[in-house]
Chain A
Amino acid sequence: MNDGLLIFGIGNSGRCDDGLGWAFLDRIQTEAGFSGTVEYRYQLQVEDAAQASCAQRVIFVDSHDGVLPGGFAFKPCMPSRDFEFTSHVLPPRAVMHFCQELYGKTPRADLLMIQGVSWDLGEGLSPEAANFLEDALGFFRNELLPGLC
């Protein structure tokens, strides 16, 4: 269990740019001054709320199938009762909703979306996604990291 920063990377490195969330985690762990907990997820689960409840700050990193200005977007993730009859698709805001309802905790949560373009079977990011990843890492390194760790 963690106490400070918790980052969930969501995706699948076997589906090209769907692996952006994991690639982001791979890189930030080597960043000087980084001291958070990282978790790799194919998809979010209800039990992730338990882990989130122990953190002070939560960031969800996921790939995005669509155009983002600058190749990435960073925005607050507000708790929302947003789940269906199945637990197989659980958005970050639903995880934070369970965190609030089940554990009475509402750590600050944000969503970092990085633009992808290729979703085929296969490993490795497309050149475009790799560039977007660098831009997102730069933002994390310069804008977020100093205030996080």
Chain B
Amino acid sequence: MSTSTRKITIDPVTRVEGHGRVTVQMDEQGKVEQARFHVVEFRGFERFIQGHPYWEAPLLVQRLCGICPVSHHLAAAKAIDQVYGMDPQDLHPTATKIRRLLHLAQVFQSHALHFFYLASPDLLFGMDAPVEKRSVGAVAMEHGELARKGIQMRQFGQELIKALAGKKIHGITAVPGGVHKTFFPHEREYFLSEEGSPSVDTMIQWSLEVVGFIKDYHDKNFSMLDSFASYPSGHLGLVDQNGGLELYDGLMRAIDSRGGITLNDAHSDSYLKHFGEGVEKWSYMKFPFLRHLGREKGWNRVGPLARLNVCDHISTPLANEELREFKAYTNGRPNNHTMHSHWARLIEVLYCAEAIKELLNDPAILDEVERPTVNRRPEGIGIIEAPRGTLIHHYQVDEKGSITKCNLIVSTTHNNEPMNRAVQWVAQNVLDQQQEITDGMLNQVEVAIRAYDPCLSCATHSMGQMPLILEVLDADGKVIAEYRKDAT
């Protein structure tokens, strides 16, 4: 073992959205002293939106992201509804249904993108696979059937977004107190029928198949999936009035690593009372935490794994059956296996497909939407479950309707501490006391981060390309080795 100290830097982290960097500091014995996941981009949406008319917020903030613009659009819209003078229950039922349908399409396509395009190469080819295999291109070449289904599932979600919002990315659906556009019968028929493209029934069938794929993969690789980057944590997500999985509008529920309730179905209006945000000088991304537990104990995972941990059931039958099996694996206790996030994500894909079908078959989805004139309020808070987790938008406006304050707690921000813990796990269990750091070892750092499907651009509110840097520092903090993956 060398007696010199090292710092490993991975920059950029690949197959995630946005710019991230990992640094691992080792002492003279090659033992890991510190491992951190840095987010090094900055955007400043919270600041430059100030002064804009409140009704512009849902249009402007969706530019935070090209992957989940719908989530930002709808979270902002829910907040702006309140500024306009309407609470969620006051909206025309069809407006809420159209928004829900849009949101389900967004989660469906985003989850398909993550699993098939970003995560599946790690599972299909292994963490030590050569770089040229770590892409959806390689998946397409060697697992054509899986790739075709993945592509068409993502396409289905995007086409549904386009039908509702006019465009696949950065369309417009929600307006203060309602929606912009009626959903037409011929548009609905496109998704119910097999003519031209696979129907929603096919999406449900394929979703079931891919859940079957991940369960089969788990059966064969449970040792790795159950242990890799696993650690106890809190979990946060929205639930409906009955404790069911809820993505569009619900109550905030958090549990600790053993299942104890730490936030008991709190209304969105109270988020400031419950959440604080820590800041570190080495990252632009904040660290949210439950105030009553403090910064050290109050952090939570968010996203598919957390949502399935906090909910009691799922409203659609097939996904609920899968949830039961998922929960049974940990005997009903919270599932803290980071790699099970993929399993949870695919159960949510199934849920979305089923729920999309329900809404498409609801006659009210085609109704005209009325939007009453109401009295404006000075403040609005919108909370939604984005694909990557709990997303909070909060706006204050002046008497002229100009935005004076904006606070965004983005899903990936909640996962900042969890991703750092995951990086620490890999550093201590894979990199510790290794004389040679291989490319496969570095990829394991990325696999741990990737399980969270982070969107770093959103979380720092940046125009970016997606690079990862792994640095090795000596005991004095000097960079003595650096591994870099260029972003494209």
Q: Which residues of A contact B (CB under 8 A)?
A: 1, 46-47, 49-50, 81, 83-89, 94, 98, 101-103
A101 touches B488 (CB 8 A): no
Query: Which of B77-134 touch A at CB < 8 Å?
Result: 117, 131-132, 134
A46 touches B132 (CB 8 A): no
User: Which applies to chain A's interface (DSSP): helix, strand, loop or mixed?
Assistant: loop
Contacts of B465 in A (CB 8 A): 88
A81 touches B141 (CB 8 A): yes
CB-contact partner of A102 in B14, B140, B197, under 8 A: B140
Choose, from B151-159, B221-229, B282-290, the stretch at the interface: B151-159
Mark B131-163 against chain A: 1 for CB-CB distance below 8 A, else 0.
110111100110010011001101100100000
A47 touches B155 (CB 8 A): yes
Contacts of A86 in B (CB 8 A): 14-15, 135, 466, 487-488
Complex Cα spacing A46 to B135, Å:
11
Can you report 21 A-B residue pairs in the complex whose CB atoms are below 8 A from each other?
A46-B140, A47-B151, A47-B152, A47-B155, A50-B152, A83-B137, A84-B137, A84-B488, A85-B131, A85-B135, A86-B14, A86-B15, A86-B466, A86-B488, A87-B117, A94-B137, A98-B140, A101-B140, A101-B144, A102-B151, A103-B148
Q: Across the interface, name the chain A residue whose C-beta is closest to B467.
A: A86
List the 4 closest A-B pairs by CB distance, nearest first: A83-B137, A47-B151, A89-B488, A85-B135
Complex Cα spacing A105 to B459, Å:
41
Tell whether A50 pairs with B144 under 8 Å between CB atoms, given A1-B197, A84-B488, A85-B14.
Answer: no
Complex Cα spacing A89 to B158, Å:
20
Contacts of A98 in B (CB 8 A): 137, 140
Contacts of B132 in A (CB 8 A): 84-85
B14 touches A46 (CB 8 A): no
The number of inter-chain residue pairs (CB within 8 angstroms) is 58
User: Which applies to chain B's interface (DSSP): helix, strand, loop or mixed?
Assistant: helix
Contacts of B14 in A (CB 8 A): 85-86
A83 touches B155 (CB 8 A): no
Contacts of B131 in A (CB 8 A): 85
Q: Which residues of B contact A (CB under 8 A)?
A: 14-15, 117, 131-132, 134-137, 140-141, 144, 147-148, 151-152, 154-155, 158, 196-197, 465-466, 487-488
Complex Cα spacing A101 to B144, Å:
8
Extra inter-chain contacts (8) besides given A84-B132, A102-B144, CB under 8 Å:
A1-B197, A47-B158, A81-B137, A81-B141, A84-B135, A87-B137, A88-B487, A102-B151
Contacts of A88 in B (CB 8 A): 465-466, 487-488
Contacts of B197 in A (CB 8 A): 1
Kindly provide the distance from the CB of B116 to the nearest chain A CB, expressed in whole angstroms. Answer: 9
B148 touches A46 (CB 8 A): no
Contacts of A50 in B (CB 8 A): 148, 151-152, 155
Complex Cα spacing A47 to B113, Å:
11
Complex Cα spacing A34 to B283, Å:
53
Complex Cα spacing A86 to B131, Å:
10
Complex Cα spacing A46 to B152, Å:
10
Complex Cα spacing A102 to B144, Å:
6
Kindly provide the distance from the CB of B124 to the nearest chain A CB, expressed in whole angstroms. Answer: 14
Complex Cα spacing A116 to B264, Å:
58
Q: Across the interface, name the chain B residue whose C-beta is closest to A88.
A: B488
Tell whether A1 pairs with B136 under 8 Å between CB atoms, given A81-B141, A86-B488.
Answer: no
Contacts of A103 in B (CB 8 A): 148
Complex Cα spacing A88 to B465, Å:
8
Q: Across the interface, name the chain B residue whose C-beta is closest to A104.
A: B144
